[in-house]
Structure 1
């Protein structure tokens, strides 16, 4: 019999909240985390996009000076979210050999890498910090969380662009179901609001250019959407085998009932316009959860606000759910937080778990003129979800053709 996987702890640090409860409350209110950047480098490099969604609480206000100095910003966010999730789970006494970490990122330590290059170029090799490599490596966040919490059964780092955080949850579920571990700290992190990433995404026409109106720039499903808004932060979930959670008397938010991962094999950046890979991922995740399309009441959509990205997701949802898609409350929370890249799937999974647990769907903001080619039932004011047994989906899709979906069921 397949082990049931439940969620017992949540943590987040995002552009709309320094912890999971604040992020959740602001997601229900429709708060925007996008603002004009005040960093000197914006003018220095004459960036075409001058705004982003920075974490609302700087990591330096949460971590000690020594901790912050030894961690790249992406790892700083991971530690903050993981510690919150662990405390929320009751800081359980666990067997380290049965405890693993799956913490994803899309880019990793870009600040450390490029700061080190500046140091090398300007001041010479002897001035490059000895901690540079462990700080820049993509697995740095997973390793830091493993060290911090004593997880000895593995520290895994899925790197699948914007699907990374959701793929970490998929891997965590597989580990628990295999019987190799009883508990996993799963999540995703990103801290890539940097001149090079802003310039590069701008160059490929992926970012919104609404420099004069940042708060309204991220507008998934809107007819006038023109690109995503860069965000940063981390999300973390404590996942446990049901019997392990019950044995220690843990509170349970819900069941992570199904997961799936597929690939488009279509294009390095563009999604399959027919949404075929995403459709397979949605159907496979529902099958894995032993759920029917009619069970789904809510979707936290990937919905980045790009002209080419939003429609294939609708096509996939329609293909997977059929006519029932008209009855599903769809939230596009990137409208508030921007796109957290490798952290987005984990943060959105936190919101999906809370949506099922609290029976509420968070807002999509900035939807002034819904694209007629995307006729979803989009949540534009906080909405109650049905009582009884319900299922919700959280979707993530990434450059490289990565598709990942998780299914959350009430417990």
Structure 2
């Protein structure tokens, strides 16, 4: 049996409420900056996308116009990742680059929804009316929502990534599986190089309504993830896109690429959350599969603030008090499919810069880390379902 190939992270593209690019994010995290909007969707709180000139990565206005915001965010972040890896415009590599995307169901056209609902209330929404609205009011890419694989399609059109393509749905768990499958393909030699990531637009009334039905939204006043009240907690949706270029060590070395870090392992689980402690037990089991050396490293989590999952994750963290914990939800908001790749990206960035960014937590759960990290565990526990972990290590 041949040894698994080593997988290097050679490209990182991030755009979020904190800005775009690695330097902007590193500066924002080290200065503990948080960008929230508590007025526009009051009483709900969102982390809005920072100002971005989409022309820089999506030069054709026609391409931009046919995308909704989540696609523009993702296509932009993918372009940043390709630039970061030094493969932008390299048709030979892009032509065989795998693409694995985690995506939601796409954005609804709220104006059309409201027109149909208003007509229904007035008794004017017969089959002919509905058919006319569907034919005339929606873009060809819409069917009251959008196809989840349109993000991958637009990345292929705009950036020329035209190897195999996979799109996973399933909120936070989708991106955990996207990373897991990408790593498995590279380790086995089925793939040399892959583009992996997700995008999320949190500034959407339809999403806020959807999550309000489950009582998931953080309301009225912002608080860091670990400081949120158990009875009135929840997540603040965030807008962000994050993509990674992951490739085999041999492929990277052959083209002279400089890695940020090594993706050593990705493990996933789907606990049946019917009994208290199920998430804690799931995370315990995943931790044992990672092969982490001791409890004195760093851990980046996409903890949501939603209960009871956040308390159960905290119970797991209390078993590893030697780890310096960082919750991305405080700085970025909760970005659903994007949260896990964002954690992997920040882990790789921290390892490449020889330091973990400082804590941004008034409760004391997050502590300073003075030493140079050599490995960082990334944790994802979905607000409703799905758990996963990744082990990201420094290149020796």
Instruction: Check if 1:353 corresponds to 2:360.
Output: no
Listed as ranges, the matches of 1:333-352 within 5 Å are: 333-352=328-347
In structure 2, how many angstroms separate the alpha carbons of the residues matched to 1:258 and 1:10? 18
> Cα offset for 1:183?
0.3
Q: 1:331-384: per-residue Cα shift (whole Å, max 9, x none)?
A: 11211111111111112221111111112222443x3345xxxxx4x13x6x44
The DSSP-based 3-state class of the residue aligned with 1:347 is helix
**Residue 211 of structure 2 is aligned with which of 180, 183, 201?**
201
> Cα offset for 1:254?
0.7
In structure 2, how many angstroms separate the alpha carbons of the residues matched to 1:174 and 1:135? 32
CA 257–303 in structure 1, closer or farther in 2 if over 3 Å, else same: same
The DSSP-based 3-state class of the residue aligned with 1:256 is strand
Larger radius of gyration: 2
CA 276–54 in structure 1, closer or farther in 2 if over 3 Å, else same: same
> Cα offset for 1:197?
1.7
The DSSP-based 3-state class of the residue aligned with 1:98 is coil
Q: Does the CA contact (< 8 Å) of 1:97 and 1:153 recur in 2?
A: yes
In structure 2, how many angstroms separate the alpha carbons of the residues matched to 1:179 and 1:271? 41
CA 409–253 in structure 1, closer or farther in 2 if over 3 Å, else same: same
Task: Name 1:150's counterpart in structure 2.
Answer: 160
Task: Name 1:280's counterpart in structure 2.
Answer: 285
Instruction: Check if 1:253 corresponds to 2:249.
Output: no
Q: Does the CA contact (< 8 Å) of 2:99 and 2:161 recur in 1?
A: yes
**Residue 91 of structure 1 is aligned with which of 70, 84, 87?**
87
Q: Does the CA contact (< 8 Å) of 2:235 and 2:333 recur in 1?
A: yes
> Cα offset for 1:274?
5.2
Quick check: 155-164 or 248-257, which moved more?
155-164
Listed as ranges, the matches of 1:261-276 within 5 Å are: 261-267=268-274, 272-273=277-278, 275-276=280-281
In structure 2, how many angstroms separate the alpha carbons of the residues matched to 1:362 and 1:152? 35
- Taking structure 2 as the reference length, the TM-score comes to 0.85
In structure 1, how many angstroms separate the alpha carbons of the residues matched to 2:354 and 2:276? 32
The DSSP-based 3-state class of the residue aligned with 2:168 is coil
- Taking structure 1 as the reference length, the TM-score comes to 0.82
CA 95–358 in structure 1, closer or farther in 2 if over 3 Å, else same: closer
In structure 1, how many angstroms separate the alpha carbons of the residues matched to 2:96 and 2:138? 37
> Cα offset for 1:97?
5.6
Q: 1:125-180: per-residue Cα shift (whole Å, max 9, x none)?
A: 32322232598111111222233333333211222312333332112111212212
CA 25–167 in structure 1, closer or farther in 2 if over 3 Å, else same: farther
In structure 2, how many angstroms separate the alpha carbons of the residues matched to 1:338 and 1:95? 34
Task: Name 1:385's counterpart in structure 2.
Answer: 371
The DSSP-based 3-state class of the residue aligned with 1:368 is coil
**Residue 6 of structure 2 is aligned with which of 4, 7, 13?**
4
The DSSP-based 3-state class of the residue aligned with 1:187 is strand
In structure 2, how many angstroms separate the alpha carbons of the residues matched to 1:164 and 1:274? 17
Q: 1:67-103: per-residue Cα shift (whole Å, max 9, x none)?
A: 2211121111111111011011112634456310111
Q: Does the CA contact (< 8 Å) of 1:86 and 1:238 recur in 2?
A: yes
Task: Name 2:315's counterpart in structure 1.
Answer: 315
In structure 1, how many angstroms separate the alpha carbons of the residues matched to 2:343 and 2:276? 20
Listed as ranges, the matches of 1:353-372 within 5 Å are: 353-365=348-360, 367-370=361-364
Task: Name 1:173's counterpart in structure 2.
Answer: 183
Q: Unaligned 5+ residue runs, structure 2? A: 120-131
CA RMSD, Structure 1 to Structure 2 (Å):
2.6
Q: Does the CA contact (< 8 Å) of 1:218 and 1:336 recur in 2?
A: no
Task: Name 1:30's counterpart in structure 2.
Answer: 32
Task: Name 1:109's counterpart in structure 2.
Answer: 106
Task: Name 1:241's counterpart in structure 2.
Answer: 248
Aligned residues: 373
CA 153–133 in structure 1, closer or farther in 2 if over 3 Å, else same: farther
In structure 1, how many angstroms separate the alpha carbons of the residues matched to 2:322 and 2:33? 26
Q: Unaligned 5+ residue runs, structure 1? A: 43-47, 371-375
> Cα offset for 1:305?
2.3
The DSSP-based 3-state class of the residue aligned with 1:293 is coil
Task: Name 1:17's counterpart in structure 2.
Answer: 19
In structure 2, how many angstroms separate the alpha carbons of the residues matched to 1:119 and 1:182? 49
Q: Does the CA contact (< 8 Å) of 2:108 and 2:144 recur in 1?
A: no
Instruction: Check if 1:299 corresponds to 2:303.
Output: no
